[in-house]
Amino acid sequence: MWLLKKFSSHILSVIPAIAIRGKRRRGEVVKQHPDFLGNDGIDYTDRCFNSITLPGKEVTAKEFYNCTFTGCDFTKTVFLKCKFSDCRFESCNLSLIKVTGTSFFNSLFRNSKILGVNWTQASWPQVKLPSSIQFLNCVISDSTFFGLYLKDIRIRECLARDTDFREADLTGADFAHTDLICSLFVNTDLSRADFTQARNYSIKISENRIKDAKFSMPEAMSLLYCLGIKIT
């Protein structure tokens, strides 16, 4: 009888540990989570991650659904074959992250630094759907979106210095109030794009599609300068 009670007590102590594996509790606010770095197949739903610091670490095959990341430092973090669906990044540092094989669906980045990211390495849908990422008041300089299909992408009130948009389909993109100094637009589809109050862009009409795109003065004059027209 004593042996049976001891065995039962051991089983009860193990059950909670087993229960927390797999999907994590919804609505939970997390500041530290060592399982981020494990390879245990955990996914996360409806979680709030605050002030997480993982610079230079590797996060592999994790899935995040409807999660919010606030004030996190992911500088040089490698996200390998991860999935972010309906996620928000607020006031985070994601500079120089690697996104190899990682997918983003309906994800929002706000007030964040996202410098030097090669978005072409991410996993994008085979079917051409409207862009699934948005950048609001972010720094996305020195990044590349070369050749990507990003219809209706929002890049509002951002700094996009030296950013590569060549060969990309940015139909209906929203660049309102964004600084695009030294960014590249070559063979880019900017049809119906909104450049209202955007500045410092250099877009050659002969090398890009800009039908029905919106521009505002005085920056719109740069379109004429690119044609070699002298305005007196």
Residue 221, pLDDT score: 79
Q: Residue 84, by phi and psi: left (phi above 0), alpha (psi -120 to 50) or beta?
A: beta
Q: How confident is the model at residue 20 (pLDDT cuts 50, 70, 90)?
A: very low
Residue 65, pLDDT score: 96
Whether 43-110 and 124-231 share one fold: the answer is yes
pLDDT > 70? residue 123: yes
Residues 216-226, mean pLDDT to the nearest whole number:
78
**Which amino acid, one-letter code, is at 32?**
Q
Residues facing 88 on adjacent strands? 68, 108
CATH architecture entry for 43-110: 3 Solenoid (2.160)
CATH 3.50.50.60 fits 124-231, yes or no: no
Q: How confident is the model at residue 11 (pLDDT cuts 50, 70, 90)?
A: very low
Terminal Cα distance for the chain, rounded: 101
Scored b (16 or more CB within 10 A) or e, 111-131 reads ebbbbbbbbeebebeeeeeeb
Domain limits, the chain: 43-110, 124-231
Residues 112-131, mean pLDDT to the nearest whole number:
86
Residues 35-43, mean pLDDT to the nearest whole number:
71
